[in-house]
Amino acid sequence: MAEEGWVKLHRCLLEKPIWTNSTPEQKAILITILLDVNRKEKEWEWRGERFKASPGQTITSLEKLAHKAGVSIQNVRTALKRFEKLEFLTNESTKTGRLITVINWGVYQAKSDDPNIAPNKDLTDSQQTPNKDLTPNKKDKKDKKDKNIFSPDGIEYRLSNYLFQHMKRNNPTCKEPDFQKWCKQMDYILRIDKRDSTEVKTIIEFCQKDSFWKTNILSVSKLREKYDQLNVKRLESRKDKPSSSSPATNVFEKTFEDDI
């Protein structure tokens, strides 16, 4: 049975290549996935084993997605491959089905209070409040501004969330961090330490795949502290691998532009 409620759908989606360059079938699949993933954590038992899916994840199948979206199974296969390349989602086969994870779900579906659903009593009380209370003082404005310096569309926020999503793959129960604090540290990495964003992304991938570092790099501040050491280890690991025949391309900026 599908979850009740609603999901956020940002208008910026209309301007992103994941939408503008998609076929009608792929658009239907994209919306179906957004509606299908879990809003909150779920647990279940299958053949004596317990399984868990985090918010932004769903266990499904090609057949189920095709049926819900009203498209063919081949349409679903093609769409999932494209969405993976754009780093919109990850797609893994598990014992209980196909695990789909929407990478930026935590950013774009963060909980917030909706003033439109406040009870009538609150509306009445607010109307009786003196006018001076309707105008916040300068300190309140400054405090509110300081709490939201970094936008979800900014490179600092996206890199921070990129680290968090990799951490969630390793440990689905890890708690969501204070992204503003993480972004501040990421800003130091990019602006003060003058690190290249593509390199930062690569180091995040390296440390979260390494059996030792993925248990030690659990915040952006720790990433910054161990950055040089991680980069040395990353470069050493590359020496043991055969070199690619084609030159490396900077796909990071493209995927971040395409990301919703």
Neighbouring CB atoms inside 10 A of 12's CB total 11
Instruction: Say which range, 21-25, 88-92, 103-107, has the weakest mean pLDDT.
Output: 103-107
- Determine the pLDDT at residue 249: 40
- Its domain, for residue 61, covers 11-107
Q: Provide, rounded to the nearest whole percent, the portion of the chain with pLDDT above 70.
A: 72
Looking at the domain assignment, is residue 252 inside a domain? no
Q: Provide, rounded to the nearest whole percent, the portion of the chain with pLDDT above 90.
A: 44
49 in the same domain as 141: no
Indicate the residue among 89, 107, 125 that finishes a domain.
Answer: 107
Q: Which of the pair, 250 or 179, is modelled with greater confidence?
A: 179
156 in the same domain as 87: no
Looking at the domain assignment, is residue 246 inside a domain? no
Domain with 102 in it: what CATH number?
A: 1.10.10.10
- Report whether 176 contacts 106 (CB < 8 A): yes
Q: How confident is the model at residue 45 (pLDDT cuts 50, 70, 90)?
A: low
234 in the same domain as 141: yes
Q: How confident is the model at residue 119 (pLDDT cuts 50, 70, 90)?
A: very low
- Report whether 91 contacts 84 (CB < 8 A): yes
Looking at the domain assignment, is residue 3 inside a domain? no
pLDDT of 183 higher than 80: yes
Q: How confident is the model at residue 47 (pLDDT cuts 50, 70, 90)?
A: low
Looking at the domain assignment, is residue 243 inside a domain? no
Give the tens place of pLDDT for each residue, 19-44.
Answer: 999 999 999 999 999 998 888 887 76
Looking at the domain assignment, is residue 64 inside a domain? yes
- Report whether 77 contacts 131 (CB < 8 A): no
Q: Which of the pair, 204 or 108, is modelled with greater confidence?
A: 204
Instruction: Say which range, 119-133, 156-170, 174-188, 220-234, has the weakest mean pLDDT.
Output: 119-133
- Burial (CB < 10 A; 0-12, 13-18, 19+), residue 152, is middle
148 in the same domain as 73: no
pLDDT of 256 higher than 60: no
- Report whether 169 contacts 208 (CB < 8 A): yes
Alpha-helix residue ranges (DSSP H) falling in the chain: 17-20, 24-36, 62-69, 73-85, 105-108, 120-127, 138-147, 155-170, 179-187, 197-209, 220-225, 227-239, 251-258
- Determine the pLDDT at residue 58: 87
142 in the same domain as 100: no
Indicate the residue among 55, 87, 107 that finishes a domain.
Answer: 107
Report how many domains make up the chain. Answer: 2
150 in the same domain as 100: no
- Determine the pLDDT at residue 116: 40
- Determine the pLDDT at residue 3: 63
- Report whether 32 contacts 68 (CB < 8 A): yes
Looking at the domain assignment, is residue 56 inside a domain? yes
> Considering the chain, what is the average pLDDT of its residues?
78
Give the tens place of pLDDT for each residue, 147-158.
Answer: 557 888 889 999
- Nearest-angstrom CA–CA distance, 162 and 259: 11
Looking at the domain assignment, is residue 123 inside a domain? no
148 in the same domain as 93: no
pLDDT of 213 higher than 80: yes
151 in the same domain as 227: yes
pLDDT of 259 higher than 50: no
Q: How confident is the model at residue 57 (pLDDT cuts 50, 70, 90)?
A: confident
145 in the same domain as 73: no
Whole-structure pTM value: 0.45
Looking at the domain assignment, is residue 249 inside a domain? no
56 in the same domain as 97: yes
- Determine the pLDDT at residue 243: 52
Indicate the residue among 65, 92, 107 that finishes a domain.
Answer: 107
